[in-house]
Amino acid sequence: MPAFNNGFPVTYPQFNPYQMPQQMMPQQQMSQPTIHADIIQVPGEQDVLNANVAAGTSQIFIAKDDSTFWVKTAYPNGQSKVDAWDRRPPAPPAATPAYVTKEELDARLADILAAIHPKEAEA
């Protein structure tokens, strides 16, 4: 009767992953870390500034009208920092129409034509 090792014959190749060369090691899939965050809805920024946050942690706040959100970070030395992001799109710039008088246009066209055809402008 042949000798068996854990259900496999002794001659069956067995690999210890700690002894395998690096290029033969199977690739391990690493998943991205998942962060669970509670978002607190507040009426305004003053409520964020007054909110208590545990030292060494951050808390996310959002305005009731969804216009702004804040991240308040409390440091172990007792200080805190509030970062704010405005979620509203920026207002488009007001378009100011540019007007040119007929005399300004005629003068500019004459300058351009003189630059293109200098001999005709002299005549």
CA 40/CA 52 separation, integer angstroms: 12
Delimit the domains of the chain by residue range. Answer: 35-88
CA 83/CA 69 separation, integer angstroms: 8
CA 19/CA 25 separation, integer angstroms: 9
CB 69 within 8 A of CB 63: yes
Phi, psi for 122 (deg, rounded to 5): -75, -30
pLDDT band at 116 (very low <50, low <70, confident <90, very high): confident
pLDDT band at 10 (very low <50, low <70, confident <90, very high): low
Q: Which of 35, 74, 68 is nearest to 51 (CA)?
A: 74
User: Where is pLDDT greater, at 22 or 92?
Assistant: 92
Give the model's pLDDT for residue 1: 52
Length of the chain: 123
CB 39 within 8 A of CB 60: yes
CB 75 within 8 A of CB 67: no
pLDDT band at 19 (very low <50, low <70, confident <90, very high): low
User: Where is pLDDT greater, at 121 or 41?
Assistant: 41
112 has a pLDDT exceeding 60:
yes
Least confident span in 4-18, 25-39, 64-78, 81-95: 4-18
Name the 3-class secondary structure at 96. coil
pLDDT single digits (tens) 47-104? 999 999 999 999 999 999 989 999 999 999 989 999 999 988 888 888 887 888 899 9
Structure tokens at 69: 């959100």
Structure tokens at 76: 């172990």
CATH hierarchy code of domain 35-88 = 3.30.505
